[in-house]
Amino acid sequence: MTEEKSWQELIDEGGKLFEQRRLAQAELRFLDAMKLSESFPQEDPRRATSLNNLAALYHSQGKYAFAEDHYKRALAINEKLFGNESLEVARNLYNLAVLYSAKSRFDEAEPLYAKSLTIKEKLLGANHPDLLHHLKQHAELLRRMGREDDATNMLARSAAL
């Protein structure tokens, strides 16, 4: 129980520091949480959360290789824990898609956006407000790929929400 509280405190503190853009301090908290999570079972969801938080931090710093590695590791854990069609997996797919978009790896990003959206629609419903940001991001990617008609359709869906 003490480990859980310590891990959660580190995650919470790192999250607050990250929001305040105090990235060096946030990284230290997230690294401490990651280290602590290594004492948990291999497929513990806290390990996936730790990896995802570090990945988001590295992504924001432009450390894309580190971010990609951590996102993929979090995805693998969440797929084992929750199956291929869970909100946790959808979140990891979305995060990877955003990363690939930032690196102009559009052909890799687009199927991840699509798969993540399909999972979210199945679990939340096609008109859930949580889809709004996802639809807009996906539409922007489609536009950058030169798929104007698809982007317009996706934006129309987001406008309907």
Note the pLDDT of residue 2.
56
Measured between alpha carbons, how far is 91 from 13 in angstroms, rounded to an integer? 21
Q: Which amino acid is at 3?
A: E
What is the CB-side half-sphere exposure of residue 121 using CA atoms within 13 A? 14
**In the structure, what pLDDT confidence band is assigned to residue 43 with cuts at 50, 70 and 90?**
confident
For the stretch 11-38, pLDDT in tens is 999 999 999 999 999 999 999 999 999 9
- The single residue listed with the structure tokens 């988001």 is 56
Would you list the domain boundaries of the chain? 1-82, 85-161
Domain 1-82 shares a fold with domain 85-161:
yes
Q: What is the pTM of this model?
A: 0.89
Mean pLDDT, residues 130-152: 95
**In the structure, what pLDDT confidence band is assigned to residue 4 with cuts at 50, 70 and 90?**
low
**In the structure, what pLDDT confidence band is assigned to residue 161 with cuts at 50, 70 and 90?**
confident
Checking if the pLDDT of 5 tops 80, the result is no
Checking if the pLDDT of 78 tops 70, the result is yes
Fold of 1-82: 1.25.40
For the stretch 84-100, pLDDT in tens is 999 999 999 999 999 99
What φ, ψ does residue 54 adopt, rounded to 5°? -65, -40
State what percent of residues in the chain have pLDDT above 70: 97
Checking if the pLDDT of 1 tops 60, the result is no
Note the pLDDT of residue 82.
95
State what percent of residues in the chain have pLDDT above 90: 89
Measured between alpha carbons, how far is 156 from 82 in angstroms, rounded to an integer? 32
CATH class of 85-161: mainly alpha
CA-nearest of 15, 113, 86 to 57 is 15
